[in-house]
């Protein structure tokens, strides 16, 4: 009877542990955060962005705060302390611990301070390429995951694309943007039609996985949304995903790929993009072969 009781308790404890493990699966991004005021130093912090639930990946709250009162209480909805594994390109770069703090600015929502004395992993040198809307020179953001899941089983890598695939991407770009405008040369406050050729749509960057998927970033110089009454803001670079059967789908714009990895340990990689749009920052998470995604987005002002 005693052995049987211990066995039952043991099974129950395993069940509870598994449930707790699922609930505590959190995805963050290790950032290099510039000082807000002149002369303030950069700080290294982890921005808590997504959590895994039974229904899928969900965004942490607070990005839609309409005022400072909401912002000041948003941190109560975040974990008070998290131990992170820092990952890049399927590798474990080290561990850090972050603790909750009040969010004083809209652009700081989700940021948690790294405990002093902890070595903070870094890749490369500071660059404005990672600064987003602010164009600040910062270190490259790195994925932080609350459990040691950092492998990339789909092996996403930069790739060159064959001409036929580039052609398919350009066709899909035109379907997405059948009508675009450009600044009127005689009056820069007005727009005029922009009858572009497919060959003018340039492939900026592409990544491919060993499972046959491809993602690609496309750019059309001088193209403006015809609904842009401000006249002058070019459309953000667009991203498309191509499945193994060469079916192409639009997945978003104004973002760049931070990393890919199997962060929930389900055997398939998730992709995390950094948002780089007018007065907007944050991250987008794609999973389940681009059938699902969730967005953590904030404003700077």
Q: How would you write 217-265 as a 3-class SS string?
A: EEECCCCECCCCCCCCCECCCEEEEECCCCCEEEEEECEEEEEEECCCC
Residues 182 and 248 in one domain: yes
Q: Are residues 26 and 104 in the same domain?
A: yes
223 lies in the same domain as 246: yes
208 inside domain: yes
Which residues have a Cβ under 8 Å from the Cβ of 274 and sit 6 or more positions away?
Answer: 29, 130, 132, 141, 255, 256, 257, 258, 281, 282, 283
Handedness of CA 223, 275, 71, 58 (dihedral sign): positive
Contact 170, 222 (CB under 8 A): no
183 located within any domain: yes
Predicted pLDDT at 8:
34
User: Do 136 and 161 fall into the same domain?
Assistant: no
Query: Is 175 found in the same domain as 113?
Result: no
Q: Within this chain, do residues 203 and 225 fall inside the same structural domain, yes or no?
A: yes
Q: Please say whether the beta carbons of 141 and 273 come within 8 A.
A: no
The sign of the CA dihedral 123, 125, 129, 131 is positive
pLDDT of res. 14: 31
Look up the pTM and report it: 0.89
Residue 140 shares a structural domain with residue 11: yes
pLDDT in tens, 32-60: 999 888 888 999 999 999 999 999 999 99
Whether 299 is covered by a domain: the verdict is: no
Residue 289 in any domain: the answer is: no
If asked whether residues 182 and 203 sit together in one domain, one would say yes
281 belongs to a structural domain: no
Do 133 and 23 belong to one domain? Answer: yes
Residues in the chain predicted with pLDDT less than 50, given as ranges, are 1-23
> Where among 89, 114, 145 does a domain terminate?
145
Q: How far is CA 69 from the centre of its chain?
A: 27
Same domain, 19 and 106: yes
In Å, how far from its chain's centre is CA 145?
A: 13
Place of tokens 């079916």: 247
Instruction: Name the strand (E) or helix (H) holding 7.
Output: helix 2-23
- Domain membership flag for residue 166: yes
- The number of domains in the chain is 2
User: Do 164 and 133 have their domain in common?
Assistant: no
Q: Work out the burial of residue 26: count CB atoms within 10 Å of its CB; fewer than 13 is exposed, 13-18 middle, 19 or more buried.
A: buried
pLDDT of residue 35: 85
Containing structural domain, residue 198: 157-261
The answer to whether residues 232 and 255 belong to one domain is: yes
Among 123, 145, 167, identify where a domain stops. 145
Q: Return the structure tokens found at 128.
A: 């404005």
């Amino acid at each position: 009877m005693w052995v049987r009781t211990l066995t039952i308790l043991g099974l129950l404890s395993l069940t509870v542990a598994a449930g707790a493990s699922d609930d505590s699966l959190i995805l963050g991004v290790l950032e290099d955060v510039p000082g807000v005021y002149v002369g303030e130093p950069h700080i290294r912090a982890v921005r808590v962005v997504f959590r895994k639930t039974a229904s899928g990946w969900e965004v942490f709250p607070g990005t839609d705060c309409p005022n400072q009162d909401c912002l000041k209480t948003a941190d109560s909805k975040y974990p008070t302390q998290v131990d992170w594994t820092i990952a890049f390109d399927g590798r474990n770069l080290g561990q850090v611990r972050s603790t909750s703090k009040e969010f004083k600015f809209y652009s700081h929502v989700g940021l948690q301070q790294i405990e002093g004395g902890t070595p903070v992993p870094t890749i490369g040198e500071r660059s404005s390429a990672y600064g987003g809307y602010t164009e600040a020179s910062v270190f490259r953001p790195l994925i932080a995951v609350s459990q040691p899941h950092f492998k990339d089983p789909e092996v996403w890598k930069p790739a060159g694309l064959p001409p036929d695939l580039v052609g398919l991407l350009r066709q899909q770009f035109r379907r997405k943007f059948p009508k675009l405008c450009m600044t009127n040369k005689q009056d820069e406050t007005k727009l005029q039609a922009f009858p572009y050729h497919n060959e003018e749509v340039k492939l900026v960057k592409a990544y491919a996985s060993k499972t046959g998927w491809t993602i690609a970033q496309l750019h059309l110089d001088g193209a403006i949304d015809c609904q842009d009454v401000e006249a002058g803001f070019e459309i953000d670079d667009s991203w498309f995903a191509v499945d193994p059967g060469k079916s192409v789908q639009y997945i978003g714009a104004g973002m760049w790929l931070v990393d890919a990895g199997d962060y929930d340990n389900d055997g398939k990689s998730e992709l995390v993009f950094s948002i780089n749009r007018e007065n907007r920052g944050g991250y987008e998470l794609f999973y389940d072969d681009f059938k699902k995604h969730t967005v953590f987005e904030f404003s700077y002002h």
